[in-house]
C-alpha cells in the first residue's frame, strides 16, 4: 500500500495526469461558484421573507455577502471530496488509462472502455452514496464536536469505507470478467487504503490532490492484487 501511494505521488507530475487533474479541479470550482451564486439569491429571498432587509438597511448586502462566503467555505470543505470524486469517476477511463499505460501496458491494451454514459451513471451513483453516508453520519459528528477530535474520526471512518470502495471499483470495472465480479482488494485493505485517502482530505491544500493521489494508488492496488493478467 505504501509503495502504491509512492508510485502515485511520482506520477502526479505526468503531463497527461496534470491535464486531467486541472480539468477536474476546474469543473469542481465551477460547481462551487454555482453553489455560491445560488446561496446568494437564496439568502436574499430569506432576508426579504423575514423582513430583515428593512431592519438591516444598507448593511443587508454586506450580511448577505458574508453569509454566502461562509456557506461557500463550509460547503467547499464538506463537498470537495464528493464533487472531486464524482468528476474523477466521470473521467475514470482517462485517468486510470494514464496510470496503466505507464506501469501496466499489457493490461491497459486489454482494458474495457466504459463509455461516457456508464461513467456518468457511476459518478452520479458514487456522489449520491457519498452524500447520503456523510449526511447520515452528520448528527453523530455534531454530537462529538465537543470532544474536539471525535468528529474527525467519524469523518475518516465513513469516508474510508466509501473511498476504499469507490476508487478500487473505478479501476476494477475496466478489467472485471463480469459486471458482478467481486472487488479483488479485500474489505480490510480497502478500509485502510480509504482511511489513508480520507486523512489526506483533512490536510489543507493537500486535500485538493488527495482524490487524484487515491485514484492512482488504487490503480496500483488493483493491478497488484493478482486478479488481472499482465502477460503480453
pLDDT tens for the 232 residues of the chain, in order? 888 999 999 988 888 888 888 888 888 778 777 877 777 777 667 766 766 555 555 666 676 667 666 766 666 666 777 777 788 888 888 889 999 999 999 999 999 887 778 888 888 888 888 888 888 887 887 777 776 667 778 888 888 998 999 999 999 999 988 878 899 999 999 999 999 998 888 887 788 888 889 999 999 999 999 888 887 7
Here the cell at position 74 is 463550509
pTM for the full model? Answer: 0.81
pLDDT value at position 188?
94
Encode 93-108: b = buried (16+ Cβ within 10 Å), e = exposed.
bbbbbbbbebbbeebb
Contacts 24+ apart (CB under 8 A), 131-136: 131/82, 133/158, 133/159, 133/161, 133/162, 134/78, 134/82, 134/158, 134/159
Which pLDDT does position 153 carry in this prediction?
A: 85
Amino acid at each position: 500500500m505504501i509503495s502504491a501511494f509512492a508510485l502515485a505521488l511520482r506520477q502526479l507530475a505526468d503531463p497527461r495526469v496534470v491535464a486531467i487533474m486541472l480539468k477536474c479541479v476546474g469543473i469542481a470550482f465551477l460547481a462551487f461558484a454555482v453553489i455560491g451564486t445560488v446561496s446568494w439569491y437564496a439568502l436574499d429571498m430569506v432576508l426579504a421573507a423575514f423582513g430583515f432587509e428593512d431592519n438591516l438597511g444598507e448593511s443587508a448586502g454586506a450580511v448577505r455577502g458574508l453569509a454566502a462566503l461562509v456557506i461557500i467555505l463550509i460547503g467547499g470543505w464538506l463537498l470537495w471530496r464528493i464533487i472531486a470524486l464524482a468528476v474523477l469517476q466521470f473521467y475514470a477511463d482517462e485517468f486510470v488509462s494514464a496510470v496503466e499505460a505507464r506501469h501496466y501496458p499489457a493490461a491497459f491494451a486489454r482494458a474495457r472502455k466504459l463509455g461516457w454514459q456508464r461513467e456518468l451513471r457511476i459518478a452520479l451513483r458514487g456522489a449520491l452514496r457519498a452524500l447520503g453516508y456523510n449526511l447520515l453520519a452528520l448528527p453523530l459528528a455534531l454530537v462529538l464536536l465537543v470532544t474536539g477530535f471525535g468528529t474527525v474520526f467519524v469523518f475518516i471512518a465513513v469516508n474510508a469505507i466509501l473511498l476504499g470502495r469507490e476508487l478500487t471499483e473505478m479501476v476494477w470495472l475496466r478489467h472485471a470478467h463480469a459486471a458482478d465480479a467481486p472487488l479483488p482488494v479485500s474489505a480490510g485493505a480497502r478500509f485502510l487504503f480509504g482511511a489513508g485517502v480520507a486523512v489526506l482530505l483533512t490536510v489543507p491544500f493537500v486535500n485538493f490532490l488527495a482524490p487524484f493521489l487515491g485514484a492512482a494508488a488504487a490503480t496500483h492496488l488493483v493491478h497488484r492484487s493478482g486478479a488481472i493478467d499482465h502477460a503480453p
